Amino acid sequence: MVNKRFFMPYKNNIILFLCCAVPIIIGSGCSLNKTQPSQYMEITNPKFKDDINKNITSLYPDRFKAIHRVILTFLEKEYVLDGYLFVDRPSREVKLIAQNDLGGIIFDVHFIKNVEKTIHSNISMLGKKRLEKSVLRDLETLYLEEPFPSPTLFSDHHKNFVLSQKEGPITKELIYKQINGQVRYQLNEIRHLENKKCVYTISLKYGTGSNNLYPEFILIQDINMKYKLQINVRYVI
């Protein structure tokens, strides 16, 4: 079981973001379970497409820790959780402890992608299989994504760049927006579409000024698992 003490040596480190526990409401460009309109124009410049595709590797630091304040909506009930996260991207490793307001551990997970995984849960609502299909999938999608093998790049009517990759019945889309005055592209949304309907989405909201490198608020919605996560993030580098 992951020990919460792995955060203690970092308590005096610089905290890049400090977000309040009140959820921030942000809009999603992908309406769940509704057919998405085809308003894309393909971009065929191979170098530009490659540059956008590689952007996912610099979305976060190679290694970091974070504290998540989470509101989980599941089966029409809301749960407030605190998550203690460790990510080692080069090693493809993630550790997460989820606690309730009283400090009791609800679940913890530790996995190295495609190598090993350990899951403990103290409530039946979030059993091992459900956590594997939801929380592990969310963590991999957020923190361990790699460049797509053969993507297609589009621009949409909002002047976003949409990187698209077909994987079986699912089409994955990464929506980037260029930062004004900078040659840098910010990931704003991740979408999974099935039969042109959005079934899974992650929306990302960044800070302002100098605090805009990493998402400070994350909204995850999954129509198949029937849950929603609202995550306020504090990073400890």
pLDDT, one tens digit per residue, over 165-179 is: 999 999 999 999 987
Question: Above 90 in pLDDT, residue 11?
Answer: no
How far from chain centre, in Å, is Cα 82? 16
- Whether residues 73 and 109 share a domain: the answer is yes
In a domain, 140, yes or no: yes
The tokens of 144 are what?
């361990």
Average pLDDT over residues 218-232: 93
pLDDT of residue 40: 84
> Which carries the bigger pLDDT value, residue 181 or residue 28?
181
- Whether residues 123 and 140 share a domain: the answer is yes
Count up the domains in the chain and report the number: 2
Q: CA–CA distance from 93 to each of 108, 109, 113, 142, 143 (Å)?
A: 14, 11, 6, 13, 9
Other residues' Cβ atoms within 10 Å of the Cβ of residue 78: 10
Domain assignment of residue 227, given as a range: 61-144+208-237
Average pLDDT over residues 105-132: 88
The tokens of 215 are what?
């998402």
In a domain, 187, yes or no: yes
In a domain, 4, yes or no: no
pLDDT of residue 46: 94
- Whether residues 123 and 230 share a domain: the answer is yes
- Whether residues 75 and 49 share a domain: the answer is no
- Distance between CA atoms of residues 78 and 31, nearest Å: 21
In a domain, 66, yes or no: yes
- Whether residues 191 and 234 share a domain: the answer is no
